[in-house]
RNA sequence: GCGAGAAUAUCUAAGUGGCCAACAGAGGCAGACUCAAGAUCUGUUCCCGAAGGGGUUCGCAGGUUCAACUCCUGCUUCUCGCACCA
């Protein structure tokens, strides 16, 4: 007799699985699924577990359904993070070392080698494979690769050649966050502060000051007509510079920034802010305006000089008001120039006064500024004397004018500050040259992708909106890098292909990964891949025989059926890969991806899993502690894939008990020898339903739903079945078939236990390849199920009455409704018009004779019909069951259940008032 | 701020107009078995009830409907994404 011992089952199964899931083209229909490959920079936690177990369950399901399934895996090692990690380890950074030594438990001798980034990813790639195998993932490991393999690099080069030829790769300049100390662009994760800051474009409006220009940065160049003065900070020292040879006056900080933004900057002198105050500058369009003192002007914000438009900018309005209240500059009046509905003559004044704002410190100032900004931008129009154009048009025109006529430039600046690098230095905006882009901003390309997306299957359907939005939101993507691991950029070998951009068509590479290795990398020209993937013939192809084999693999497997990934990849990777597929396989619509399944996130004890915070539970530990099947079943059963799930050890523990219970039940009943009873037919009928529902659920990737049906659904039925069996019988020989079905339905979820039980059941071969159960329509009997439901409901009713009256019953009588009540029931259930149905019934003379009894019955039946599920009412009308026969047959069972004699009579024979309440499907119950 | 979702009993969670006091699991409580613990099994787990019933519920406030957990409107709260990074 088999004892429940998960780790023994696991060992048994692993032995048989070693090469079992290596998959080759065959005569069978294929099913190709894949998952976003991991970046192995650390150990796997249980959150990763689900990401890979869901596709495995699906893979196992389709394999059992007779498809040739390909489930490959590889490792993404390109990029910068591990380079940083290796540096930190080399620098003996305590926090990093603790993470790797203590949490990920990397042995010291290996940790010592982590100063080399490639060693890190190779170490964890091996670990990933080990843990994935421990989880029972049915992966074809022959196809494993890492993204710096020379052959893979060749494949990337081929892919990029196509992108380039399609005109999607472009060289350009690009503003980036830049640290002048590190002399490097700064990514989100390198920021101490300001990760939400965006780079925005300021127009510099040029005011002439003697022989130089003072540039004022603004987002609203169209308000130039309303400038009444400039603001300068009297406590700041400004510098005179030559910007590209032209004399300017800006803050010191601004001079440094401009130097990073494609300009030559030569500092020629200094001038104190206080020396500027009171002077006049000439307005670019007409006349002169004064420079006023303003301590609030931040030299580190854009040019360090501000133009004041008090009619439209609340800050300017208040600053001016403050000065005027001290009796200064009273001659200056706000000059309105934009008309916008609902903001009076002078919008800034109107808004400030309406809000009752007293001074610049008011916390509502920002919101107010934003409000006016938006209102004017969307609805505002310039006054006729200034051209009468909408704000959005005028803005462009003034910006244009400044650059054409006044040698103004665009200045990039953050929309909020401070932005601080990890090193503590302030981050600036730098324009990077020799930067290459993928033109995701290209409208035609977007449209191609959109057209294809519309034909794809997306699970869950809600994510479609997010994909749609991403496609149109994507802008050109900087696709080369200077640091990290990766493939050299073909058109500039000093740079590397950006890591997200090198992992977009690799699903096609899987189809040949194990074979392409046999060819020397240097022979892998673009022509070779053109032949394999596109069928393009060319002269002198090397190793033609091998290429043909690969071509065959590709044609057999591609396109992939489903790609699985966590939902945070929608806005980049998952959409990128569609762009790339559309280009590389242009003109071959049948090679484009067919579907995607997007997952939710993982929580640990209710909190987000995070390696850096130490809130992780390592997958390997989970498998060791609870067993692979337990981890699988828990992860699949606690939520549907696209929902967030929460890992809690207590719950996992009870999952293990469930598997044990399943194992023990199967072992108990599989060899039952009893003769089949009527209830066996019921059980068989129910089983077909569970087969159908489990299959449907897995068809739709609903792992939780499937598990509910396949595990709990069958278990509950089995309980009722065993309760219904005669005392001396512990099951019929037909239970063997039930066990066989049951074990197979659960095999995708708990394959280790599955393999073991399959052997115990003397099943043929491995359960991993056993045929998936198919519901047999001949075994389905709605009538038997309905009769059983009647019985179960009646038993429930009796139980609840017995409990309520707290009497020890001596006998139970079940009184059945007479035929005329069934007639009433049927008439009401089928009635079109609920209002006239009673009249209809009363047309019958025998009904009329019963008078009130009939009307009461009609009312009760109406209520009852509402309460019964449709699946009960419908058959009751079409093909009524013989209640007498049902209860007569169950008499023994009923008296056994309640320990008293049970009588079954027709209501009119009962001679008891209670009997009169009998209704169809709800017999009267008389307890004495 | 913008975009995409979510809110159901102690927890996880099913439920898209009448099957609903609401599937299932976990947990709690009571009981059986046991010397005992664990495991297992049974009952119970919003309130009331000595006859299968009644009452109040599914974030908050309204609305549509004979009928709403389910549809509509507004509000509140939460999660995810907003990129040059895997």
Confidence of residue A12 (pLDDT cuts 50, 70, 90): very high
Q: What stretch of H or E contains A793?
A: helix A782-805
A469: nt with nearest C1' to CA: B3
A914: nt with nearest C1' to CA: B51
Between A351 and A816, the more confident residue is A816
Looking only at the bridges linking them, the beta strands covering A562-566 and A30-35 are parallel
The pair of structure tokens assigned to A903 is 């009588």
b/e map A397-421, b = 16+ CB within 10 Å: ebbebbeeebbbbbbbbbeeeebbb
A479: nt with nearest C1' to CA: B84
Residue A809 has pLDDT above 80, yes or no: yes
Nearest to A729 by CA among A893, A865, A555: A893
Residue A889 in 3-state DSSP? Answer: helix
Residue A449 has pLDDT above 80, yes or no: yes
Quick one: how far is CA A423 from the chain centroid? 34
A503: nt with nearest C1' to CA: B86
Q: Position of tokens 């009273």?
A: A330
Distance A646 CA to B12 C1' (A): 8
Q: Which residue is nearest to nucleotide B67 (CA to C1')?
A: A866
A186: nt with nearest C1' to CA: B84
Distance A750 CA to B59 C1' (A): 38
Whole-number pLDDT of residue A387: 84
Whole-number pLDDT of residue A189: 63
pLDDT digits (tens, 9 = 90+) for A458-491: 988 888 888 998 999 898 898 988 888 999 999 9
Residues A60 and A748: beta-carbon distance below 8 Å: yes
Establish how many alpha carbons lie within 13 A of residue A277's alpha carbon, considering only the half-sphere containing its beta carbon: 17
Residue A497 in 3-state DSSP? Answer: strand
Q: Which residue is nearest to nucleotide B53 (CA to C1')?
A: A801
Q: Which of A388-397, A663-672, A751-760 has the highest mean pLDDT?
A: A751-760
Measured between alpha carbons, how far is residue A928 from residues A154, A798, A803, A814 in Å? 87, 12, 14, 11
Among A460-474, A690-704, A835-849, where is mean pLDDT lowest?
A: A835-849
Whole-number pLDDT of residue A688: 95
Residues A33 and A139: beta-carbon distance below 8 Å: no
- Helix ranges (H only) for A498-648 are 506-510, 513-516, 526-529, 544-557, 573-584, 619-626, 628-637
Distance A615 CA to B80 C1' (A): 19
Distance A899 CA to B64 C1' (A): 53
Q: Which residue is nearest to nucleotide B79 (CA to C1')?
A: A644
Residues A900 and A809: beta-carbon distance below 8 Å: yes
Distance A601 CA to B79 C1' (A): 10
Establish how many alpha carbons lie within 13 A of residue A193's alpha carbon, considering only the half-sphere containing its beta carbon: 11
Q: Position of tokens 């359907």?
A: A461
Which residues sit opposite A199 in a β-bridge? Answer: A414
Distance A651 CA to B10 C1' (A): 14
Q: Position of tokens 């009609």?
A: A858
A174: nt with nearest C1' to CA: B84
The whole-angstrom separation of Cα A292 and Cα A302 is 18
Q: What stretch of H or E contains A177?
A: strand A169-179
Q: What stretch of H or E contains A723?
A: helix A714-724
pLDDT digits (tens, 9 = 90+) for A84-113: 889 889 999 898 899 999 989 999 999 999
Distance A567 CA to B3 C1' (A): 14
For A371-509, list the strands marked E by DSSP. Answer: 381-382, 410-414, 420-421, 428-438, 457-459, 477-478, 480-481, 488-489, 492-497
Backbone Cα Rg of chain A = 38
A707: nt with nearest C1' to CA: B24
A41: nt with nearest C1' to CA: B86
Residues A237 and A252: beta-carbon distance below 8 Å: yes
Residue A537 has pLDDT above 70, yes or no: yes
A465: nt with nearest C1' to CA: B4
Residue A437 in 3-state DSSP? Answer: strand
Distance A374 CA to B75 C1' (A): 24
Peptide bond into A418 cis (omega under 30): yes
Whole-angstrom distance between the N-terminal and C-terminal Cα of chain A? 47
Mean pLDDT of A791-796: 90
A177: nt with nearest C1' to CA: B84
Distance A52 CA to B18 C1' (A): 42
Q: Which residue is nearest to nucleotide B25 (CA to C1')?
A: A638
Distance A860 CA to B54 C1' (A): 16
Q: Residue length, chain A? A: 928
A482: nt with nearest C1' to CA: B84
Bases of chain B with protein Cβ within 7 A: 3-6, 12-14, 18-21, 23-27, 39-42, 44, 49-52, 79-86
Signed CA dihedral, A824, A828, A831, A833: sign only? positive
Between A502 and A432, the more confident residue is A502
Nearest to A559 by CA among A75, A37, A31: A31
pLDDT digits (tens, 9 = 90+) for A317-334: 988 998 898 888 888 899
Q: Cα angle at A638 between A634 and A694, to 5 degrees? A: 90
A78: nt with nearest C1' to CA: B86
Distance A750 CA to B1 C1' (A): 46
Distance A668 CA to B42 C1' (A): 20
Quick one: how far is CA A539 from the chain centroid? 46
Residue A363 has pLDDT above 70, yes or no: no
Distance A922 CA to B70 C1' (A): 29
Q: Position of tokens 């009412």?
A: A873
Q: Which residue is nearest to nucleotide B24 (CA to C1')?
A: A708
Between A362 and A912, the more confident residue is A912
Nearest to A408 by CA among A644, A195, A170, A215: A215
The whole-angstrom separation of Cα A756 and Cα A269 is 85
The whole-angstrom separation of Cα A419 and Cα A199 is 11
Phi, psi of A553 (to 5 degrees): -60, -50
Distance A802 CA to B44 C1' (A): 15
Between A565 and A377, the more confident residue is A565
A815: nt with nearest C1' to CA: B52
Distance A189 CA to B49 C1' (A): 63
Distance A600 CA to B5 C1' (A): 11
Whole-number pLDDT of residue A228: 93
Signed CA dihedral, A407, A410, A413, A416: sign only? positive
Which residues sit opposite A435 in a β-bridge? Answer: A172
Distance A606 CA to B59 C1' (A): 19
Provide the 10 A C-beta neighbour count for residue A201.
13
Q: What percent of chain A has pLDDT over 90?
A: 52
The pair of structure tokens assigned to A201 is 């474009």
A863: nt with nearest C1' to CA: B18
Residue A446 has pLDDT above 90, yes or no: yes
Looking only at the bridges linking them, the beta strands covering A595-599 and A602-604 are unpaired
Between A380 and A192, the more confident residue is A380
Cβ contacts of A649-657, under 8 Å, gap ≥ 24:
A649/A617, A652/A622, A652/A626, A653/A626, A655/A626, A655/A630, A656/A6, A656/A626, A656/A627, A656/A630
Among A763-767, A822-826, A838-842, where is mean pLDDT lowest?
A: A838-842
Distance A799 CA to B47 C1' (A): 21
The whole-angstrom separation of Cα A446 and Cα A74 is 29
Distance A156 CA to B21 C1' (A): 60
Reported ipTM: the value is: 0.92
Signed CA dihedral, A492, A496, A501, A502: sign only? positive
Q: Which residue is nearest to nucleotide B66 (CA to C1')?
A: A834
Whole-number pLDDT of residue A356: 80
A485: nt with nearest C1' to CA: B86
The whole-angstrom separation of Cα A298 and Cα A279 is 20
Whole-number pLDDT of residue A1: 60
Confidence of residue A846 (pLDDT cuts 50, 70, 90): confident
A708: nt with nearest C1' to CA: B24
A664: nt with nearest C1' to CA: B40
Mean pLDDT of A176-200: 73
Measured between alpha carbons, how far is residue A909 from residues A101, A215, A790, A855 in Å? 83, 105, 21, 22
Distance A387 CA to B82 C1' (A): 37
Tell me the domains of chain A and their CATH numbers. Answer: 30-142+602-646 (3.40.50), 150-167+445-599 (3.40.50.620), 169-197+420-438 (no CATH), 198-415 (3.90.740.10), 654-780 (1.10.730.10), 794-927 (no CATH)
Question: DSSP states of A505-548 as a string?
Answer: SHHHHHTTHHHHTTS-GGG--HHHHIIIII----TT-SSHHHHH
The whole-angstrom separation of Cα A153 and Cα A493 is 13
Residue A862 has pLDDT above 90, yes or no: no
Question: DSSP states of A17-65 as a string?
Answer: HTTTT-----SSPEEEEEEPPP--SS--BHHHHHHHHHHHHHHHHHHHT
Whole-number pLDDT of residue A339: 85
The pair of structure tokens assigned to A304 is 């360090």
Confidence of residue A852 (pLDDT cuts 50, 70, 90): confident
Provide the 10 A C-beta neighbour count for residue A627.
25
Nearest to A121 by CA among A72, A73, A80, A71: A80
Q: Which of A124-128, A723-727, A797-801 has the highest mean pLDDT?
A: A124-128
Establish how many alpha carbons lie within 13 A of residue A882's alpha carbon, considering only the half-sphere containing its beta carbon: 6
The whole-angstrom separation of Cα A674 and Cα A685 is 19
Nearest to A665 by CA among A628, A625, A724, A711: A711
Confidence of residue A188 (pLDDT cuts 50, 70, 90): low
Distance A871 CA to B49 C1' (A): 31
The whole-angstrom separation of Cα A362 and Cα A359 is 6
CB-based contacts of A309: which residues, under 8 Å, 6+ apart?
A: A220, A223, A226, A227, A228, A316, A334, A335, A348
Provide the 10 A C-beta neighbour count for residue A165.
12
Distance A455 CA to B70 C1' (A): 30
pLDDT digits (tens, 9 = 90+) for A195-240: 667 777 888 889 998 889 999 988 888 888 899 999 999 999 999 9
The whole-angstrom separation of Cα A593 and Cα A56 is 19
């Amino acid at each position: 007799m088999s004892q429940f011992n998960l780790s023994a089952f696991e060992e048994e199964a692993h032995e048989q699985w070693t090469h079992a899931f290596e998959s080759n083209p065959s005569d069978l229909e294929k099913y190709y699924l894949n998952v976003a490959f991991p970046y192995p920079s650390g150990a796997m936690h249980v959150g990763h577990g689900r990401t890979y177990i869901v596709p495995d369950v699906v893979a196992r399901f389709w394999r059992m359904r007779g498809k040739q399934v390909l489930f490959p895996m590889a490792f993404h090692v390109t990029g910068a993070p591990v380079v940083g990690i290796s540096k930190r380890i080399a620098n003996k950074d305590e926090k990093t070392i603790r993470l790797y030594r203590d949490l990920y438990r990397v042995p010291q001798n290996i940790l010592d080698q982590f100063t080399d980034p490639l060693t890190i990813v190779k170490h964890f790639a091996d670990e990933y494979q080990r843990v994935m195998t421990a989880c029972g993932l049915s992966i074809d490991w022959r196809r494993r690769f890492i993204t710096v393999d020379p052959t893979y690099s060749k494949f990337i080069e081929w892919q990029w050649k196509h992108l380039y030829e399609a005109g999607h790769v472009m060289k350009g300049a690009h503003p980036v966050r830049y640290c002048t100390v590190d002399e490097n662009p700064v990514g989100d994760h390198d920021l101490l502060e300001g990760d939400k800051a965006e780079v925005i474009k300021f127009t510099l409006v040029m005011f002439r000051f003697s022989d130089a220009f003072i540039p004022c940065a603004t987002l609203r160049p169209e308000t130039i007509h309303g400038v009444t003065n400039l603001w300068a900070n009297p406590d700041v020292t400004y510098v005179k510079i030559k910007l590209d040879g032209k004399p300017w006056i800006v803050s010191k900080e601004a001079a440094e920034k401009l130097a990073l933004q494609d300009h030559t900057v030569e500092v020629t002198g200094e001038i104190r802010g206080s020396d500027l105050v009171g002077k006049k500058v000439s307005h670019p369009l007409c006349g002169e305006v004064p420079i006023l003192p303003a301590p609030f002007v931040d030299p580190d914000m854009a040019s360090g000089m501000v133009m004041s438009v008090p009619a439209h900018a609340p800050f300017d309005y208040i600053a001016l008001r403050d000065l005027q209240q001290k009796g200064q500059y009273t001659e200056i009046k706000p000059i309105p120039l934009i008309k916008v509905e609902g903001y009076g003559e002078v919008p800034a004044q109107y808004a400030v006064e309406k809000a009752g704002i007293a001074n610049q410190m008011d916390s509502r100032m920002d919101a107010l500024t934003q409000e006016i900004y938006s209102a004017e931008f969307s609805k505002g129009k310039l006054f006729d004397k200034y051209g009468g154009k909408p704000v959005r048009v005028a803005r462009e025109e003034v910006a244009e004018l400044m650059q054409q006529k006044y040698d103004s430039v665009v200045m990039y600046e953050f929309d909020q500050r401070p932005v601080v690098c990890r090193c503590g230095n302030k981050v600036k905006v730098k324009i990077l040259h020799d930067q290459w882009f993928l033109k995701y901003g290209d409208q035609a390309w977007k449209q191609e992708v959109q057209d294809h997306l519309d034909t794809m299957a997306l699970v869950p359907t809600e994510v479609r909106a997010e994909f749609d939005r991403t496609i149109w939101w994507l802008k050109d993507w900087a696709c080369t890098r200077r640091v990290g691991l990766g493939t050299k950029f073909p058109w500039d070998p000093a740079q590397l292909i950006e890591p997200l951009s090198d992992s977009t068509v690799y699903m096609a590479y899987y189809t040949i990964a194990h074979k392409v290795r046999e060819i020397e990398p240097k022979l892998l020209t673009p022509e070779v891949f053109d032949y394999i993937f596109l069928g393009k013939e060319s002269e002198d192809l090397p190793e033609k025989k091998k290429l043909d084999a690969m071509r065959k693999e590709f044609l057999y497997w591609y396109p992939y059926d489903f790609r699985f990934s966590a939902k945070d990849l929608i806005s980049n990777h998952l959409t990128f890969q569609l762009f790339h597929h559309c280009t590389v396989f242009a003109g071959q619509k049948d090679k484009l991806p067919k579907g995607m399944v997007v997952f939710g996130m993982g929580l640990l004890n209710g909190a987000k899993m995070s390696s850096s915070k130490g809130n992780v539970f390592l997958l390997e530990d989970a498998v060791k502690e609870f067993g692979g099947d337990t981890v699988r079943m828990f992860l699949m059963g606690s939520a549907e894939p696209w929902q967030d799930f929460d890992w809690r050890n207590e719950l996992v523990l009870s999952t293990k008990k469930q598997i044990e219970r399943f194992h023990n039940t199967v072992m108990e009943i599989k060899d039952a020898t009893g003769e089949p009873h009527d209830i066996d037919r019921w059980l068989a009928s129910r089983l077909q339903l569970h087969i159908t529902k489990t299959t449907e659920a897995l068809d739709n990737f609903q792992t939780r739903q499937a598990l509910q049906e396949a595990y709990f659904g069958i278990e509950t039925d089995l309980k009722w079945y065993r309760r219904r069996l005669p005392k001396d019988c512990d099951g019929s020989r037909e239970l063997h078939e039930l066990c066989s079905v049951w074990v197979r339905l659960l095999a995708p979820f708990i394959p280790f236990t599955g393999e073991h039980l399959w052997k115990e059941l003397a099943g043929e071969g491995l359960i991993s390849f056993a045929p998936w159960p198919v519901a047999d329509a001949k075994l389905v009997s709605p009538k038997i199920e309905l009769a059983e439901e009647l019985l179960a409901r009646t038993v429930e009713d009796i139980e609840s009455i017995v409990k309520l009256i707290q009497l020890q019953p001596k006998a139970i009588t079940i009184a059945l409704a007479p035929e005329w009540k069934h007639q009433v029931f049927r008439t009401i259930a089928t009635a079109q018009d609920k209002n006239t149905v009673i009249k209809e019934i009363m047309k019958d003379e025998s009904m009329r004779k019963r008078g009130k009894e009939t009307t009461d019955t009609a009312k009760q039946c109406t209520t009852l019909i509402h309460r019964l599920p449709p699946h009960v009412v419908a058959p009751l009308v079409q093909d009524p069951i013989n209640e007498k026969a049902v209860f007569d047959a169950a008499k023994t069972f009923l008296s056994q259940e309640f320990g008293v004699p049970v009588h079954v009579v027709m209501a009119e024979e009962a001679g008891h008032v209670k009997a009169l309440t009998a209704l169809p499907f709800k017999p009267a119950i008389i307890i004495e």
